[in-house]
Structure 1
Amino acid sequence: MQRLMIADGSDIVRKVGKRILSELGFLVVEAGSDREAIMRCQAQLPNFLIVDAALEGALDVIAAVRAMPQGKTVRIFYCVIEADLKKMMVGKRAGADDFLLKPFDRKILTSVFGGFAAAA
């Protein structure tokens, strides 16, 4: 089973994302802060990581994961509210692989992650 972490300061976003992604076949772990995300990644790296751009220390989380042994294998999605090119480039430079637009819903998560879950 593919492991996926949602690092977002919003309980609601994490809960909704977890429910949808669990139904797609992911083992979903939540982190409500940058420190919690880094600690959980140190304990066990996920295959996928969704990091909210609004999370304090979001770029630090991405950089910390990339610096970990096997950290380059994690597929990191930087979650932004709008297609803000400047913010997206900062995320890319920090090590994000791809982007998700918020608010996301079942249709978006299924289209982005459905193929990854099936490949597991």
Structure 2
Amino acid sequence: MKSCLIVDDSKVIRKVARHILETLNFEVEEAGDGQEALTRCEARMPDVVLLDWNMPVMSGMEFLRLLRQRGHADQPKVVFCTTENDMAHIRAALEAGADEYVMKPFDRETLHVKLQLVGVA
């Protein structure tokens, strides 16, 4: 079973994403900010991270840069999941090491397609 770490400061978004991912047969963990997500990744690296952009403590971009800098052999796929929709944000996320990008709000079909594109669904 594939694993996904949902990183978002919104409990509602985490709950919706968890429901969708569990219907897609993912084992799901959650983190409320980038710092908590790094700690979870150090304990057990997921197959994919669903990552919010704007969070307290540590933003999604800060988390992504630190995750990629650590150079773990088992790097997860990272799908940015955010309301930031301009090309500059999308380009910055991809340059920082994101594998894909999905806009909020998203549905099961959209998320499933993105997970297929990065090779985890």
TM-score, L = length of structure 1: 0.86
- Rounded to whole Å, the distance in 2 between the matches of 1:105 and 1:80 is 13
> What RMSD over aligned residues (CA atoms) do the two structures have, in Å?
1.7
Per-residue CA distance 1:56-97 (angstroms, 9 max, x = gap): 4211111122123225x3111112215310111111121111
The percent identity for this pair of structures is 33
TM-score, L = length of structure 2: 0.86
Indicate the residue corresponding to 2:13 in structure 1.
Answer: 13
Q: Given the alignment of the two structures, is residue 105 of structure 1 paired with residue 107 of structure 2, yes or no?
A: yes
* Matched residue type, 1:88: I
* Matched residue type, 1:48: V
3-state SS of 1:103 partner: coil
Q: Which 5+ residue runs of structure 1 have no aligned equivalent?
A: none
- Rounded to whole Å, the distance in 2 between the matches of 1:31 and 1:3 is 14
Higher relative CO (Cα under 8 Å, sequence separation at least 6) belongs to 1
- Rounded to whole Å, the distance in 2 between the matches of 1:13 and 1:49 is 14
3-state SS of 2:54 partner: coil
Per-residue CA distance 1:92-113 (angstroms, 9 max, x = gap): 1211111011111222223333
How many residues of Structure 1 are paired with residues of Structure 2 in the alignment?
Answer: 116
Shift of 1:116: 2.9
Q: Which 5+ residue runs of structure 2 have no aligned equivalent?
A: none
Poorly superposed stretches of 4+, deviation over 4 Å:
none
More helix by share: 1
